[in-house]
Amino acid sequence: MNFSDSEIVHSILKSAGFKKVNDLSEADTALLLTCAIREGAEEKIWRRMRHFRSSLRSKHRSPLCIGILGCMAERLKENLLEGYEVTADFVCGPDAYRDLPKLIEDIQAKGLKGASLALSLEETYADVKPVRQFGPSAFISVMRGCDNMCSYCIVPFVRGRERSRPLKSIIEELYQLSFEGVKEVILLGQNVNSYRDLSEGIDSTGCTTDTLAPGFKTVYKQKVGGYRFISLLDAASSVDSNMRIRFTSPHPKDFNLEVLQLIAERPNVCSQLHLPAQSGSSPVLERMQRGYTREAYLELVNRAKSIIPSTLLPYSDPIPLDVAISSDFIAGFCGETEDDHNQTLSLIDRVSYAYGFCFPFSLRGKTRAFYRLEDDVPAEIKARRHNELKSALRSAALRFNNSLIGSTELVLVESISKRSNAELAGRVDGGVKVIFPKHLPDSSEIHIGDYIDSCTSQTLRGTPLRKTNIVDFYKDHCARRHDARGS
């Protein structure tokens, strides 16, 4: 979300006459876009501020103005503006970026420190055209905020309640990106698959089934009417059949049968599901207020694997590959026992994630855990469990990558490899990174398409076959599988 927010901030300031510079020593104002989910992220910002004040301010012809944007501004306004050994000149919350020009003007012209932090039930920046960096991929923020109220999470308190952009404005932006040649769009939201546009109409799909995955529940009353996530995914994937669609970050509860089936039916919707488990222990999940048990989560995983590969991966021969599933985990949550931790390790082993992220638990103010639970797992045990989770995720990723050896994959080239100018880097449909030679056997340069023949736990290595696109790739491999079956 912060990457998308930076593009929105850039657009707002550019429209107000501000100019971005590449060298910080030439800047009058430095903006730090922040995260408050974990303590470590905030500590990095404090270090950056100390660096700015100690080394940069003395070099400037005039004092450098420092602004703190985003979640940390919302959470620590008073500490950022006064009382600590290093302070900011202004703070601006994630729903108040439109106030940035005035905040900067007030501090530069009048020396007035300022803050704009009001959370909104409506702000989505739908009318702001982001200033994007050139590349094959683009982000579109489709909803903001979160209503889930997980006991460890501060997002609802610093990002506000859920509200979604009008579907029409998102589709218009997708058409524009397609016209500009963008090959992949990532739909963003704090809880992206709970998207619901209530601005007009009713759900265009006419779906009548439950909006939640079986076995999942919420702590809030479900919204009714409007366009749901399946409406968005249906419309977005219909804009350009040669433009990939990804989305992040979802909640497992919103992956109902309809959504899984639509992903299976649309070749340009990537076969990548991010299913944040957070823990493999049902008692821990209950304390986290996640709204599901270990058993319900595994049923969802099995359902996704049974629905998506059969149609989404027709080119896998002879056995369809699993959909690429990724996840998030927290090590050492309140009350977590060694058995709870082992349950999480066993979940990672059982699901065989394509990749995952894990962090030691960090108690956040305002959350239910802060008021109702005890942060009782010692730091050294958190660290050890965190390392064990990382090791388990690396092993799972290696198994998943090994399953891709010998398969033909569609790769969107993203950049020149950091390892060598003679190689390119891209990602397969499931999101795994691939490194491969820059040229085809006939010496022509490539853009999409490679053959995977070796891998590590983090990166695949591939041999390029030819240039192609999504439509031609799937037509070709559907035909090959059809011929191989002799039907």
Q: Other C-beta atoms within 10 Å of 382: how many?
A: 21
Identify the CATH number of the domain in which residue 233 sits.
Answer: 3.80.30.20
Count of the separate structural domains present in the chain: 3
Instruction: Report which listed range, 131-140, 219-228, 309-318, 362-371, is most confident.
Output: 362-371
Residue 24 lies in a domain: yes
And the tokens for 56? 């940069």
Phi first, then psi, for residue 90 (nearest 5°) are -155, 160
Tens digits of per-residue pLDDT, 68-79?
Answer: 999 998 888 888
Categorize the per-residue pLDDT at 336 as very low, low, confident or very high, splitting at 50, 70 and 90: very high
Note whether 380 and 465 are same-domain residues.
Answer: no
Residue 129 lies in a domain: no
Note whether 341 and 428 are same-domain residues.
Answer: no
Note whether 166 and 222 are same-domain residues.
Answer: yes
Residue 467 lies in a domain: yes
Give the end of a domain, one of 403, 431, 453: 403
Residue 225 lies in a domain: yes
Report pLDDT for 479: 56
Note whether 103 and 220 are same-domain residues.
Answer: no
Note whether 284 and 187 are same-domain residues.
Answer: yes
And the tokens for 426? 């891209």
- Report CA torsion sign: 51, 99, 137, 273: positive
CB 217 within 8 A of CB 241: no
Give the end of a domain, one of 346, 376, 403: 403
- CA dist 197 and 269 (Å) reads 21
Identify the CATH number of the domain in which residue 419 sits.
Answer: 2.40.50
Report pLDDT for 372: 97
Tens digits of per-residue pLDDT, 394-443?
Answer: 999 999 999 888 888 888 888 888 888 888 889 999 999 999 888 776 66
- CA dist 142 and 350 (Å) reads 33
**Does residue 201 carry a pLDDT above 60?**
no
Phi first, then psi, for residue 33 (nearest 5°) are -85, 125
Tens digits of per-residue pLDDT, 1-48?
Answer: 788 999 999 999 999 999 999 888 888 899 999 988 888 888 888 888
Report pLDDT for 138: 95
Note whether 150 and 105 are same-domain residues.
Answer: no
Percent of the chain whose predicted confidence (pLDDT) is above 90:
60
Residue 124 lies in a domain: no
- CA dist 479 and 484 (Å) reads 9
Residue 472 lies in a domain: yes
Residue 131 lies in a domain: no
Note whether 342 and 466 are same-domain residues.
Answer: no
CB 323 within 8 A of CB 271: yes
Note whether 98 and 174 are same-domain residues.
Answer: no
Q: Give me the domain span that covers residue 290.
A: 137-403
And the tokens for 33? 């876009």
Identify the CATH number of the domain in which residue 48 sits.
Answer: 3.40.50.12160
Note whether 157 and 295 are same-domain residues.
Answer: yes
Name the residue type at position 257.
L
Note whether 75 and 188 are same-domain residues.
Answer: no
Tens digits of per-residue pLDDT, 370-402?
Answer: 999 999 999 999 999 999 999 999 999 999 999
Q: Which of 14-18, 98-102, 385-389, 449-453 has the lowest mean pLDDT?
A: 449-453
Note whether 35 and 54 are same-domain residues.
Answer: yes
> What is the pairing mode between strands 184-188 and 244-248?
parallel
Residue 123 lies in a domain: no
Give the end of a domain, one of 403, 427, 444: 403
Note whether 456 and 387 are same-domain residues.
Answer: no
- CA dist 361 and 296 (Å) reads 23
